[in-house]
Amino acid sequence: MDRQNSALVEDKAFVTDKTLSDQIETLQPDNAHEKIQDWLISYLAELLDLEHDEIDIKRTFEHYGLDSAAAAGLIGDMETWLGKKLAPTLLYNYPNIKTLTEFLAGTIR
């Protein structure tokens, strides 16, 4: 199984603002990329009490001080939002917002 398929369990339900999973089938890949990236920026900004413009998508999650418990929380919340099962090691394989967004948006195509 390739890295992409091992990180996500097949699920064809993905698209609303409350949960992206309610809307995914109608999303275009570029729109999905933007929504996922915005969600991750908002999540980190709220978690770390930072402004959105203080989040650099190329900085690692480790740079922002996410420990394993915070990473597990992010993955769990993202699973709920996306309506997809995600690998618990996803943040280690895709260590920043940019790479994680590219991976997740690529699974929509």
Q: Are 101 and 36 in contact (CB under 8 A)?
A: yes
The whole-number pLDDT of residue 32 equals 87
Reported CATH class of domain 3-103? mainly alpha
Q: Over its length of 109 residues, how does the chain's per-residue pLDDT go in tens digits? A: 344 433 333 332 323 345 555 555 555 656 888 999 999 999 999 999 999 999 999 999 999 999 999 999 999 999 998 888 999 999 999 999 999 999 998 887 5
The whole-number pLDDT of residue 57 equals 98
Task: Give the residue extent of every domain in the chain.
Answer: 3-103
Best CA proximity match to 84, nearest among 108, 60, 109, 57: 108
Sequence-ordered list of residues with C-beta below 8 angstroms from that of 61, at least 6 positions apart, any chain: 44, 71, 74, 91, 95, 96
CA-to-CA distance for 86 and 13, rounded, in angstroms? Answer: 14
The whole-number pLDDT of residue 107 equals 80
The whole-number pLDDT of residue 8 equals 38
The whole-number pLDDT of residue 77 equals 94
The whole-number pLDDT of residue 48 equals 93
Q: Are 100 and 91 in contact (CB under 8 A)?
A: yes
